[in-house]
Amino acid sequence: VEDILQSLRVGINEEEVIRFNLNRRNVWDGVVRATMCNPTNNNENAGKAKLFNQQKCKRSSEFRRAIRDCFRLVLQHITNSPMFDGPENQHTYVLKNKALNNNSYFYAGQLIAMSIVHRGPSPHFFAPVLFQAVALGPDNVHAAIEDITDPDIKCQLSEVGVEHM
């Protein structure tokens, strides 16, 4: 993971500035619209664009605060969205058709990566099993029945005797 993040960080074009016009009350829609319209929004350049015009900020500390604040609001939205479920700081993905149809899972992943690459806040709301799946790949993680947050699925798996997946 560290190598991937470092390669993304090195790939940031410091000369390219992409401005996001954000409404603090509806930051998710603004960020998604901006990433959809972003000409660098492709697999090669995902997460490499700067978010704010640093020249507009009087000091670099204001610039860093603006970036952290934007990503804090985005991660807060993602944390509280129906895409995730579970106790605080133990969230796992939940399959939602609306989120699938709107590409919300893709945008959430892209924005989480951008936050990390741009030294914004980290997604501390992931359950350990979800973090391991993201960091190591889903084939390298063995989830236990206790990791499932949906009570119906947990009950069904318990009935058939599944302990590890």
Query: Domain segments of the chain: what residues?
Result: 2-126, 128-165
pLDDT at residue 79, rounded to an integer = 93
Q: Is 116 left (phi over 0), alpha (psi -120 to 50) or beta?
A: alpha
Q: Whole-angstrom Cα distance, residue 82 to residue 163?
A: 26
Q: Specify whether the CB–CB gap between 108 and 78 falls below 8 A.
A: yes
* Structure confidence at residue 54 as a pLDDT band (50, 70, 90): very low
For residue 121, what are its two tokens?
Answer: 């806040």
For residue 51, what are its two tokens?
Answer: 């978010």
* Structure confidence at residue 14 as a pLDDT band (50, 70, 90): low
pLDDT at residue 107, rounded to an integer = 93
Mean pLDDT of 53-72: 68
Mean pLDDT of 124-140: 89
Between 68 and 3, the higher pLDDT residue: 68
* Structure confidence at residue 101 as a pLDDT band (50, 70, 90): very high
- Which candidate, 157, 71, 87, 68, places its Cα nearest to that of 128? 87
